[in-house]
């Protein structure tokens, strides 16, 4: 076990279709880790930087400017490249943990499966954007399309959610297909049931990641050198 491996932070992603409970669970997971003295940064994609939030507004909150499907894919990846290089990479180096709401699987599903851009192109763009920074745990929340629609019933749809029924069907199909065939670090987690039930399922997986980090620190330092620091959630 290299010292750098023991001291670097861990990168956790929560992904899944609209209304799967990602944002709800990111907050709960961050709180759970913070209780244990882990410094956590919560991020969302697209976003997490000033540029990323400006791109997010363009991609999600406006309906007047037409965005071509390939241009849309590039915009998501531009926000990602900026986030990785400006925030995620440096934070992991400092030993902080990152919890990110959506990541590369969303791009493959929304812009590839649903948006019609070749999956190979999406994967190449993602690979360039992540610059070698890979998640340690990638939780994919699953739920039936009907539950997603019900959960989002009392809020207005964003630009991506307004792309119609076929698009939404392809999104669900994309997540189901991809999460079935992916092994570690991907972990399919049932997003149905109460918030607390889903939280427990996620925690049972992440707790193992935390335990592994603590024991690797012990091996390197001969002591559990866990730094207790103030925690900051930035969204
Ligand atoms: N387990 C759950 N049971 C019932 N309702 C839930 C559950 N988890 C989240 N919700 C509610 O469902 C709605 C969508 O949840 P949330 O915003 O966390 O999902 P999301 O995956 O982040 O959605 P989006 O992709 O649109 O950002 C919210 O109103 C939230 O309070
Ligand atoms: Mg959300």
Expressed in angstroms and rounded, the spacing between residue 123 Cα and the centre of ligand 2 is 23
> What's the pLDDT score for residue 222?
62
**For residue 25, how far is its CA from the centre of ligand 1 (angstroms)?**
8
147 lines ligand 1 (CB under 6 A): no
Q: Which protein residue's CA is at the shortest distance from atom 8 of ligand 1?
A: 21
Q: What pLDDT, on a 0 to 100 scale, did the predictor assign at position 96?
A: 98
CATH of 3-221, one of 3.40.190.150, 3.40.50.12500, 3.40.50.720, 3.40.50.300: 3.40.50.300
What is the per-residue pLDDT across 43-92, written as a single tens digit (0 to 9) for each?
A: 999 999 999 999 999 999 988 999 999 999 999 999 999 999 999 999 99
Rounded to whole angstroms, the Cα distance separating 122 from 178 reads 14
Residue nearest atom 31 of ligand 1, based on CA coordinates: 24
Spacing, Cα 148 to ligand 1 middle (Å):
8
- End-to-end Cα separation, the chain, in angstroms: 33
Q: State residue 8's pLDDT score.
A: 94
**How confident is the model at residue 206, as a pLDDT?**
98
Cβ 22 under 6 angstroms from ligand 1: yes
pLDDT at 186: 98
Q: pLDDT tens across 213-229, in order? A: 888 876 766 654 444 44
Q: What is the pLDDT of residue 72?
A: 97
Q: Would the CB of 42 count as within 6 Å of ligand 1?
A: no
198 CB within 6 A, ligand 1? yes
Which residue blocks in 98-194 are alpha helix, DSSP H? 104-107, 119-130, 145-151, 165-181
| Closest C-alpha to 83, from 5, 179, 11, 6 | 11
Q: For residue 154, what pLDDT is reported?
A: 87
Q: pLDDT band at 4, cuts 50/70/90? A: confident
Interval 93-122: pLDDT, tens: 999 999 999 999 999 999 999 999 999 999
Distance of alpha carbon 178 from alpha carbon 223, whole angstroms: 40
- What angle in degrees, to the nearest 10, is found between the helix axes of 119-130 and 69-83? 20
pLDDT tens digits for 155-201? 899 999 899 999 999 999 999 999 999 999 999 999 999 999 999 99
**In terms of pLDDT, which residue wins out, 14 or 235?**
14
């Amino acid at each position: 076990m290299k010292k750098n491996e023991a001291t670097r932070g861990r990168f956790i992603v929560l992904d899944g279709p609209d209304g799967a409970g990602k944002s709800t669970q990111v907050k709960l997971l961050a709180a759970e880790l913070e209780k244990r003295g882990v410094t956590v940064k919560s991020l969302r994609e697209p976003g997490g930087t000033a540029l990323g939030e400006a791109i997010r507004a363009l991609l999600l909150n406006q309906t007047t400017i037409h965005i071509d499907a390939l241009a849309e894919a590039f915009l998501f990846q531009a926000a990602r490249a900026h986030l990785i290089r400006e925030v995620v990479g440096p934070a992991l180096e400092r030993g902080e943990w990152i919890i990110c709401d959506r990541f590369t699987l969303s791009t493959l599903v929304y812009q590839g499966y649903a948006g019609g851009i070749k999956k190979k192109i999406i994967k190449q763009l993602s690979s360039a954007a992540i610059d070698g920074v890979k998640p340690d745990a990638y939780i994919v929340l699953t739920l039936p399309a009907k539950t997603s629609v019900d959960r989002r019933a009392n809020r207005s749809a964003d630009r991506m959610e307004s792309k119609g029924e076929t698009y939404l069907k392809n999104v669900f199909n994309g997540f189901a297909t991809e999460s079935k065939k992916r092994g570690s670090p991907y972990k399919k987690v049932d997003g149905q049931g109460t918030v607390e039930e889903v939280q427990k399922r996620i925690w049972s997986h992440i707790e193992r990641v935390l335990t592994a980090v603590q024991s690797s620190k012990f091996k390197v330092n001969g002591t559990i050198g866990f730094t207790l620091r103030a925690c900051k959630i930035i969204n």
